[in-house]
Amino acid sequence: MLKVISFTICPFVQRITAMLEAKNLPYQVEYISLSDKPQWFLEISPNGQVPVMITENGTALFESDAIAEYLEDAYPALQEGLSAEQKALNRAWSYLGTKNYLPQCGAQSSKDGQTLKERTEKLTMAFAKVEKVLGEYRFFNSDTLSMVDLAWLPLLHRAQIIREKSGYDFLAGYPKVQAWQEALLETGLAEKTVSKDFLEKFSDFYLSEKTFLGRCKNNCSCSALNLEERCQETGCCELGEASNMDIGTGCRC
């Protein structure tokens, strides 16, 4: 059986479990601690990172892009009969999503409103690009799931949790991305692709008193578009340096 070596809140891992779930492939998950990586893991993971996926032949694959592409090639494709050009485009749009996992982790870790605003910029640019190409279908470029949907799922899932728990909306101003998020979340894939304690661990890390978003619990409807105006008007969140405990950008991602 396929096996994924994982870390609970890692978005790169969630992209791979999303591929496995979408293809109905049975798999096992083994969680490791990234602050105390086991020796057996270091021996099979050349970059020292999760995800690693052990294939049915016992080969350890690393780098989430390579693993996702392997799953698409080795098992019935999510979208049949794509041309080389369409495959390249799907990969490129997937990379645009995965390149924003770390910026999102960084933004979520911000200790004050100004840092959040700055760190959200790169992410916002990606949402603006994708907004322009969405709209014709239920999902990214089809009414059935593609690799691109699964690559963006971790970003959109995390954006939904942040909105629900803090009121801050990474997707404000992007109605088509919001509709795409809703369609993806309706599939139930978000819950299936993370561990049972995901929400707790995610909240402990990103929504504690150490983060701006953690302290922004008043359903304030803030976003990068209106952060200063909205917060100053309603006093809903502390904009300044409310804490000197900087947890940096780190989610170990």
Ligand X SMILES: N[C@@H](CCC(=O)N[C@@H](CS)C(=O)NCC(=O)O)C(=O)O
Secondary structure tally for the chain: helices H, strands E: 12, 4
| 10, 53, 156, 172: residue in contact with ligand X (rule CB under 6 A) | 10
Binding test (CB under 6 A) with ligand X, winner from 6, 14, 17, 49:
49
**How far lies 2's CA from each of 26, 149, 195, in Å?**
7, 22, 17
Q: By CB under 6 A, tell whether 41 contacts ligand X.
A: no
Told to judge if 10 belongs to the known catalytic residues of this protein, a careful annotator would answer yes
Taking the CB of residue 242, how many other CB atoms lie within 10 A of it? 17
Backbone angles phi, psi at 138, to 5 degrees: -70, -45
Q: Which helix (H) or strand (E) holds 155?
A: helix 147-166
Among 64, 90, 94, 146, binds ligand X (CB under 6 A): 64
In the set 4, 50, 155, 162, which binds ligand X (CB under 6 A)? 50
By DSSP bridging, strand 27-31 and strand 52-54 are unpaired
Cβ distance to ligand X smaller for residue 64 or 109: 64
> What tokens does 140 get?
């990214």
- Under the binding rule (CB under 6 A), the answer on residue 253 touching ligand X is yes
Question: Considering beta carbons, is residue 10 or 216 the nearer one to ligand X?
Answer: 10
Nearer to ligand X, 2 or 216 (CB): 2
Which listed range, 5-13, 121-129, 136-144, 202-210, lies at the site for ligand X (CB under 6 A)? 5-13
Asked if residues 109 and 178 have their Cβ atoms less than 8 Å apart, the reply is no
Catalytic residues: 10
- Residues forming contacts to ligand X in the complex (CB under 6 A) are 7, 10, 12, 34, 48-51, 63-65, 252-253
